[in-house]
Structures are given as structure tokens and as C-alpha cells.
């Protein structure tokens, strides 16, 4: 098949890790006889430096003209001035919003051989295999008003958490559809004892649950969920929650899999076009040093093959190659443990690419 994959490396280690994911995609294309092209675009801090805006129109056009988008990471101390008018993160948020990518899938799967990489006890994390569906185009990230102003008591600021029935409905339905091919359990996470948006969320989630009688839907308050995630993580199957809660809970959940460097994500909307990125940030101090773990981005490329291109055998091959590389004892610094072989970003990419095979 022919496909255009827009590559937006962004800032910091985003550059290092996307290069390895492209390396793996090239190997997949060769092995399976596909023609992929990889036009690249600017986003984030580099885009601000070169064009003055975090998502130049050419980048958005490129993404719209592509079958899928692979993104690295955005941000860094250089652009962190709290009074700056433009911020790298705006580029990522604009991309998610403009492309209507409302469902962010963040699978958290512990590879058995990484059980010692987790900071949690082995008996607690063994068997963790969950997926968080984070609502991505609503909530605090986009609600209006969102601004700073001068009030009678000095400087003030406001952000708004807003949700509509439709926004909740469609993302909870995505969670139910995912659960159908898994363990048929959805945990909807909210803060309904305090927030109006959460009371709406729970009401609508309950209605969606009634239309999906084969799925068991439970509700948890977000603070309780944060605790249960480290108390009994293996019991969770699919979690669905609003934008900010999902952002926070997935950083927490990443430690169940050993490292932020292991967690991929897919951002999907109504069509097939999706945005694929690791959940980690740009880690500026590791940028360009050949140390970052590229596995989260390589696994994001596997999700790209599966969800946007419909190439599930190829996606399985990438995931199997990651599994074999880890089983063979290779580790980047973040998942290293005694008796394993420490490798850099490029070596990890090479090792995984070399294990891509047609099944």
C-alpha cells in the first residue's frame, strides 16, 4: 500500500525518538512491500524559532494531506517564559483540535521482563494491561474564558472546564468499543462530588453504558482512581476520563509499565487519520545525546499502522520485535536493571528494526 506519514519531530528528544520510529517504519515497508513517504513539518519550539508560531499553516496543511501523523514532543526551557505570548504546547493543542482528534488512547502494558523496572512491587504490577482513553479536545485545555487579568485583589487568572453531552458520549463510546475486544470492563473517572462537568459526564456515561449492555461500566472518583491505580493496577481494563484527569493519570500509570519511555499513544477522531506520539515530553537535557528510550515512539508507530493504515499484521510485527529486543536483554537507561545490556537510542532502533519479520 501507499501512505503518507507526516513526521513532526518537534523539540528535544522528539527529534531522536522519531528518527528511530521512522527507521522501524522503513523496515516494515521493505519487509511487507509498502510505499510510505515521510514528509516532515515543524511544530513546537522549533516552529516558534523559525516562523514565530507553534503550528505554522504549512504544518497543518501537511497533516491534513497525510494519512497519519507521527509526532515526537514539544517544549523546553528556552520557550518557558510564563509571560510569552506563544508557547510550544499551543502547537500540539491546535493540531489535536484542528484535526478533531478527541479520543486519545494510551495503552499501559507491562512487559514481563520489565517487572523490575517498575518502582512498584512485582506482585502488584504483574499482569498490568490497561488502556486509558483520554478525552483530548475539551475540558480545561480548551474551555473559554481562559485568561489572565488584573482584579481588585491583584493578578487573577481563570480557566474553564466545559463539556457537552456529545463530547462525553462519543469518547465513552470509544472506550466501550475498545473494551468489547478486551476484558469488557470500563472504568469511567470523574469528580462528580464537586464538579458540574463531572456530574454531566457520569450521567451521560451511564446512558452510554445502557446502550452497551455487554460492557460492565463502573464509575470512580479521580482521586480514588489515582490511589486504586497503584493499589490494584492489574484489575483495570479500559479507563475513560476527561482531558486533564487523563493527562495526570497517564503519567502516574506509566510507572506501572516501568517508564514514561514505554508509553505510546494514538489520538483519533471521526476518520482514519490519527496523530501518534509518545506520552513523554521533550526531556531537553537528554536531547541529541543518543540516550532517550525510543520504544514509546516505536510503539506509537505500531498503533499508526494498526489504526490509520489498517495494517494489523505489520503492527503486530513491530510489537513482537520490541518484545524480542527486551527479552534479549537490551535496555535504554530508563529501564535498565542488573544483568541487562545498556544501549543508546539509535542502537535500540537498530535492534528492533532487525527483529521485524513477516510472520
Q: What amino acid positions are annotated as catalytic residues?
A: 141, 191, 223, 247, 251
Does residue 247 belong to the site contacting ligand IPM (CB under 6 A)?
Answer: yes
- What is the smallest separation between the CB atom of 74 and ligand IPM, expressed in angstroms? 6
Does residue 277 belong to the site contacting Mg ion (CB under 5 A)?
Answer: no
Does residue 242 belong to the site contacting ligand IPM (CB under 6 A)?
Answer: no
What is the x/- site pattern for ligand IPM, positions 81-120, by CB under 6 A? --------x--x----------------------------
Nearer to Mg ion, 247 or 319 (CB): 247
- What is the smallest separation between the CB atom of 328 and ligand IPM, expressed in angstroms? 30
Residue nearest to ligand IPM (CB): 89
Does residue 247 belong to the site contacting Mg ion (CB under 5 A)?
Answer: yes
Nearer to ligand IPM, 208 or 256 (CB): 256
> What's the chain look like in SS3?
CEEEEEEEEECCHHHHHHHHHHHHHHHHHHHHCCEEECCECCCCHHHHHHHCCCCCHHHHHHHHCCCEEEEEECCCHHHCCCCCCCCHHHHHHHHHHHCCCCEEEEEEECCHHHCCCCCCCHHHHCCCEEEEEEECCCHHHCEEEEEEEEECCEEEEEEECCCCHHHHHHHHHHHHHHHHCCCCEEEEEECCCCCHHHHHHHHHHHHHHHHCCCCEEEEEEHHHHHHHHHHCHHHCCEEEECHHHHHHHHHHHHHHHCCHHHCCCEEECCCCCEEECCCCCCCHHHCCCCCCCCHHHHHHHHHHHHHCCCCHHHHHHHHHHHHHHHHCCEECHHHCCCCCEECCHHHHHHHHHHCCCCC
- What is the smallest separation between the CB atom of 182 and ligand IPM, expressed in angstroms? 22
What is the x/- site pattern for ligand IPM, positions 23-62, by CB under 6 A? ----------------------------------------
Nearer to Mg ion, 88 or 349 (CB): 88
7 binds, among ligand IPM, Mg ion, none (CB under 5 to 8 A by kind): none
Judged by the rule CB under 6 A, the positions of this chain that interact with ligand IPM are 74-75, 89, 92, 247, 279, 281
Judged by the rule CB under 5 A, the positions of this chain that interact with Mg ion are 247
Amino acid at each position: 500500500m501507499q501512505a503518507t506519514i507526516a513526521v513532526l519531530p518537534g523539540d528535544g528528544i522528539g527529534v531522536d525518538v522519531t528518527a528511530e520510529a521512522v527507521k522501524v517504519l522503513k523496515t516494515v515497508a521493505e519487509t511487507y512491500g509498502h510505499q510510505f513517504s515521510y514528509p516532515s513539518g515543524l511544530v513546537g519550539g522549533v516552529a516558534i524559532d523559525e516562523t514565530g508560531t507553534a503550528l505554522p499553516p504549512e504544518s497543518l496543511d501537511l497533516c491534513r494531506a497525510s494519512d497519519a501523523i507521527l509526532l515526537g514532543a514539544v517544549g523546553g526551557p528556552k520557550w518557558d517564559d510564563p509571560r510569552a505570548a506563544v508557547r510550544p504546547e499551543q502547537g500540539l493543542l491546535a493540531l489535536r483540535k484542528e484535526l478533531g482528534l478527541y479520543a486519545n488512547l494510551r495503552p499501559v502494558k507491562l512487559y514481563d521482563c520489565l517487572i523490575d523496572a517498575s518502582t512498584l512491587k512485582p506482585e502488584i504490577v504483574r499482569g498490568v494491561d490497561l488502556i486509558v482513553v483520554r478525552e483530548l479536545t475539551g475540558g480545561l485545555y480548551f474551555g473559554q474564558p481562559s485568561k489572565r487579568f488584573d482584579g481588585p485583589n491583584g493578578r487573577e487568572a481563570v480557566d474553564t472546564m466545559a463539556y457537552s453531552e456529545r463530547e462525553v458520549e462519543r469518547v465513552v463510546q470509544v472506550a466501550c468499543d475498545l473494551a468489547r475486544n478486551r476484558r469488557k470492563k470500563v472504568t469511567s473517572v470523574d469528580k462528580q462530588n464537586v464538579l458540574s462537568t463531572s456530574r454531566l459526564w457520569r450521567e451521560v456515561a451511564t446512558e452510554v453504558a445502557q446502550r452497551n449492555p455487554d460492557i460492565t461500566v463502573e464509575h470512580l472518583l479521580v482521586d480514588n482512581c489515582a490511589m486504586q491505580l497503584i493499589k490494584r493496577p492489574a484489575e483495570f481494563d479500559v479507563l475513560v476520563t476527561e482531558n486533564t484527569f487523563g493527562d495526570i493519570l497517564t503519567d502516574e500509570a506509566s510507572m506501572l509499565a516501568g517508564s514514561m519511555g514505554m508509553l505510546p499513544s494514538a489520538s483519533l477522531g471521526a476518520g482514519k487519520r490519527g496523530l501518534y506520539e509518545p506520552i513523554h515530553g521533550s526531556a531537553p537535557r537528554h536531547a541529541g545525546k543518543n540516550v532517550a528510550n525510543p520504544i514509546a515512539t516505536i510503539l506509537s508507530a505500531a498503533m499508526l499502522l494498526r489504526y490509520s493504515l489498517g495494517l494489523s499484521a505489520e503492527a503486530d510485527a513491530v510489537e513482537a520485535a520490541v518484545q524480542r529486543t527486551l527479552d534479549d536483554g537490551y535496555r535504554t537507561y530508563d529501564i535498565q536493571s542488573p544483568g541487562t545490556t545498556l544501549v543508546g537510542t539509535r542502537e535500540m532502533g537498530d535492534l528492533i528494526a532487525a527483529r521485524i519479520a513477516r510472520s
